[in-house]
Amino acid sequence: MYNKKPQKLFFTLGFACLSALTMHSVKAKETPELGSLYNPAEQFETAIRLIEGQNTQADFSTGLKWLKLAAAQQYSKALYQLGFYYEYGIDEVERDYFKAVDFYERAAKQGHLESQFNLSVLLLREGTPVYNPKQGLYWLEQAAQQDNGEAQYSLAMLLEKEAKINTALIEQSISWLTKAAHNGHRGSEYVLGIKYLKGAGVEPNQQQAFNWFQKAAQHGDSAAQFNTGLMYEQGTGVKQDLKLAIEWYQKAAAQNEAGAQFNLGNKYLFGVGIPQDTHKGLELIQTAAKNGNPAAQTMLGNMLTTGKFLGIDYAKALQLYMNAAENGYAEAQYQLSLMFAKGQGVEISHEKSVHWIKKRLNPIIP
């Protein structure tokens, strides 16, 4: 049996010394009462005030001591905070994955949601000395069962990856994804929209796809905003409405969504559903091309080879076609084949022309 009395005395002296250390840096009204020095919640709050410099001069070192005292009493918030510091190596705390796991796990066992999730992510991170997929999955499931959308989404994606080997996991993946979506997790809403649109793991349902895209769009997801606009424009899963399509394109384009920039640019360029503005249309299409949209790159290439809207510049057109063609865009591959055949902006090369026309016959993007 260990004699706990000396430990208790040391603990008490530690509080007294720490109190003295802290007095100079914390305002009198911010200093905890003597009785609260044993209260881990008060210790934690004092630690955060010192670390973040709330109404006092920031003092990470002293704050860290308070944090460790709270953690010594198994206070979950303090355990989580220390786990975070050790995981990322914050300030004077050196990165130590093993200590991070220890602190996270102690809080996780108390049901602390953030600790369960962070612990799962750390244990599932390949290349670290604490990599443990079995335990990582366990803690991810614990966090997901607390109805946390981020954990549910992560679990769904992990199960989807595993479903390539074990197809029985597809149903579980969709179930967790749906739970996350119902919890307002916009990434899950968007992915669920894709699955209903393509019939991946679920029966195809355009109306359901639209509904989930719209929810994600309302939560600010730019890709979902673009898809919502596209479905409104095409009348897919919803009544066709060009005005609403343009509104969603505008929201997505403002977030630098290349597909929306291209579609909106075309509307301005030709005055479709919106007053014609050639300058604005070209600007949006050029931005979409810079953002890697192959349709925009190809359209600009066409303008530069025909002289429509822009002056002829075969060299620039060639580069734009090349960018789109290398990403598997069929029309760009065809145009590139023609340029090599005609020697436009490049030396004639029947070999390269044939190469690109063959690529055109098996496009990645039709």
Question: What percent of the chain has pLDDT above 90?
Answer: 85
The stretch 213-239 carries a mean pLDDT of 98
Give pLDDT, residue 164. Answer: 86
Tens-digit pLDDT profile for residues 104-127: 999 999 999 999 999 999 999 999
Higher-confidence position of 66 and 12:
66
Rg value, the chain, Cα: 29
The stretch 24-29 carries a mean pLDDT of 37
Give pLDDT, residue 28. Answer: 32
What amino acid is encoded at 57 in this protein? Q
pLDDT averaged over the chain? 90
Give pLDDT, residue 212. Answer: 99
CB 285 within 8 A of CB 300: yes
Tens-digit pLDDT profile for residues 82-102: 999 999 999 999 999 999 999
Give pLDDT, residue 365. Answer: 66
The stretch 141-145 carries a mean pLDDT of 98
- Residue 71 pLDDT > 90: yes
pTM of the model: 0.83
- Residue 188 pLDDT > 90: yes
The stretch 229-258 carries a mean pLDDT of 98
Query: 273-283 burial, b if ≥16 CB within 10 A, otherwise e?
Result: ebeeeeebbbe
Residue 91: CB partners within 8 Å, gap ≥ 6? 60, 85
- Tokens describing residue 75: 């206070």
pLDDT confidence tier of residue 8, bands split at 50, 70 and 90: very low
Give pLDDT, residue 31. Answer: 52
- Tokens describing residue 33: 């009462």
Give pLDDT, residue 304. Answer: 97
- Report the 3 state secondary structure along 105-140: HHHHCCCCHHHHHHHHHHHCCCCCCCCCHHHHHHHH
- Report the 3 state secondary structure along 186-234: HHHHHHHHHHHHHCCCCCCCHHHHHHHHHHHHHCCCHHHHHHHHHHHHH
Nearest Cα to 59, choosing from 29, 95, 30? Answer: 30
Q: Which of 17-21, 311-315, 356-360 reaches the highest mean pLDDT?
A: 311-315
CB 105 within 8 A of CB 76: no
Count the alpha carbons within 13 Å of 84 in the hemisphere toward its beta carbon. 12
Domains, the chain, with CATH or none: 36-146 (1.25.40.10), 164-291 (1.25.40.10), 312-365 (no CATH)
DSSP string, 63-113: HHHHHHHHHHTT-HHHHHHHHHHHHHT-TTSPP-HHHHHHHHHHHHTTT-H
The stretch 286-294 carries a mean pLDDT of 98
CA distance 213 to 220: 11
Give pLDDT, residue 167. Answer: 87
Give pLDDT, residue 36. Answer: 61
CA distance 91 to 94: 8
- Residue 16 pLDDT > 90: no
- Residue 29 pLDDT > 60: no
Give pLDDT, residue 140. Answer: 98
Give pLDDT, residue 362. Answer: 75
